[in-house]
Structure 1
Amino acid sequence: YDVKVISTPGRLTDHYNPVDKTVNLSEAVYNQRNAAAAAVAAHECGHAVQHAQAYAWLTLRSQLVPAVNISSNISPWLIFGGLLLGAGVKVGFGYYLALFGIILFAVTTLFSFITLPVEYDASNRALAWLKNKNMVSQQEYAGAEDSLKWAARTYLVAALGSLAQLLYWAYRLVGSSRE
C-alpha cells in the first residue's frame, strides 16, 4: 500500500526499488495499455509483493547486494593482477591474489543463482494476477506467459554464464598450479 508506481526514462529500465519502495516502469510500459505492458508492470509489482511479504529469496538477494557491488567491481582486477604476478607458476602473492579474486567472483555467481527464484516467482505472481483479474484475453495471456518465461530464462543464461566463467578462472588457477 505504500509503494509508488513511477515512469522512468529509457528502454528496459523497469525495476522495483526496495529502498524507496517504487515500481519504476520505462516510459513505454508506463504509457501503454496492452498485454505486454501489463505483464511487465505486474512482474515488477510482484517484486513489491515479495518485499512486503519478506520473501526469503528476495531478502537474501538484498542482503548480498553490498557484497556483490564490491566483488563484481574488483574481482576481475584481482584475478588478472594475480595471474600477471605469477599465479600461473604458483608464486605466492600472485596466486593468493587471484584466488581471492576468484572467491569474490563466486559471490557474484551465487548472487546470479539466488536471483533465479526471485525472478521466476515474480513472473508467476504476475501471471496469476493477470489471469485472476481477467486483465488480458486468453490469447494475450499466452503471449504474456511466453514473454515472462523467456525473460526469466535470460537470468538463467546469465547464471550459467557466470558459473562457466567462475569454473574457467578456477581451472586456470588450480590447473596451471599443477604444472
Structure 2
Amino acid sequence: MIVIFGLSAFVSWRLRSKFNEYSQVGLSNGLSGAEIAQKMLNENGIYDVRVVSVEGMLTDHYNPQEKTVNLSADVYYGRSVAAAAVAAHECGHAVQHKVAYGPLQFRSAIVPIVSVASRYLQWVILLGIFMLQTTPLPLTIGVGLFAVTTLFSFITLPVEFDASKRALAWVQNRGIVNKREYGYAKDALWWAAMTYVVAALGSLATLLYYLSILSGRRSD
C-alpha cells in the first residue's frame, strides 16, 4: 500500500509537471483548446455537444448526460500543446459516445451502482471490521461494494486509453500539431493515463487487503 501511495503521488506530480511544461509550448496553428474541441466534434459529425469552460485545474471531462465537453480555463482558452491534447482527449470520449463504444457504455451503465456503493462503502467497511468477531456479513457486503468500485476503476482504463488514441490520431491526421508537438501531446496524455492505472492498482490492492481480513476471520 505504501508503494502504491508513493507511486500515485509521483504520477500526480509528474502529470502536473508535464501539463505545466507543455502549457508553455505554443501551438503552431494558434488554435485554442475550445476551437480544437469544436473542430474535432464537428469533423466527427457531432453537433449536439457543447464545449464549455469550468473552474479548476485538470478538471476537464466529458459529461454524457448533459452532452458537454467541460474544459478547464487553461485548456479552454489556452493555445498550447497541453490544451490541444486535453481538449482532443475529452472530445475522444464524445466520439466514443457517438459510436457506442462498448467499455464506455458498460461504465456508464454501472455509474448509478458505483455512486451508491461509494456513498456507503466507508461506513459499511468500518461496521464490518468492528463486528467481524460477531459476524462476517457486514464486511462481506462491504467487500462486495468495494469490488464494484474496483471493477469500475479497471473498466475506466480502456475508455481512457482509447480516448487518447482517438485524440492523437485526429490531431495528427488533421495537422493540428506538427511532429514535435505530437510527441509532446502523446507524452502528456500518457502521464494522464497513468493516473488511472495507479488508481486501479491502488483499488485492487485495497480490495485484496480487505479480502485477506475477511478470509482470516473465516479461517479462524
Structure-2-length-normalised TM-score: 0.77
CA distance in 2 between partners of 1:28 and 1:72 (Å): 30
**Mapping 1:58-137, distance limit 5 Å:** 58-85=104-131, 87=132, 89=133, 91-92=134-135, 95-137=136-178
Q: SS of the counterpart of 1:2? A: coil
| Aligned partner (choices 55, 58, 62) of residue 12 of structure 1 | 58
Partner of 1:152: 193
| Aligned partner (choices 28, 41, 63) of residue 87 of structure 2 | 41
For residue 81 of structure 2, what is the amino acid of its counterpart?
Answer: A
CA distance in 2 between partners of 1:22 and 1:171 (Å): 42
CA distance in 2 between partners of 1:173 and 1:78 (Å): 13
Deviates more, 1:42-51 or 1:72-81: 72-81
Q: SS of the counterpart of 1:10? A: coil
Question: 5+ unaligned residues in a row in structure 2: which ranges?
Answer: 1-46
Q: Does 1:167 align with 2:208?
A: yes
RMSD of aligned residue pairs (Cα, Å): 0.9
Q: Which has the higher contact order (CA 8 A, sep 6+)?
A: 2
Deviates more, 1:73-82 or 1:58-67: 73-82
Q: CA deviation at 1:28?
A: 0.6
**Mapping 1:19-58, distance limit 5 Å:** 19-58=65-104
Where does structure 1 differ by over 6 angstroms across 4 or more consecutive aligned residues?
none
Identity across matched positions, percent? 57
CA distance in 1 between partners of 2:75 and 2:137 (Å): 47
Q: CA deviation at 1:176?
A: 3.1
CA distance in 1 between partners of 2:56 and 2:81 (Å): 20
Q: CA deviation at 1:76?
A: 1.9
Q: SS of the counterpart of 1:142? A: helix
Question: 5+ unaligned residues in a row in structure 1: which ranges?
Answer: none
For residue 64 of structure 1, what is the amino acid of its counterpart?
Answer: I
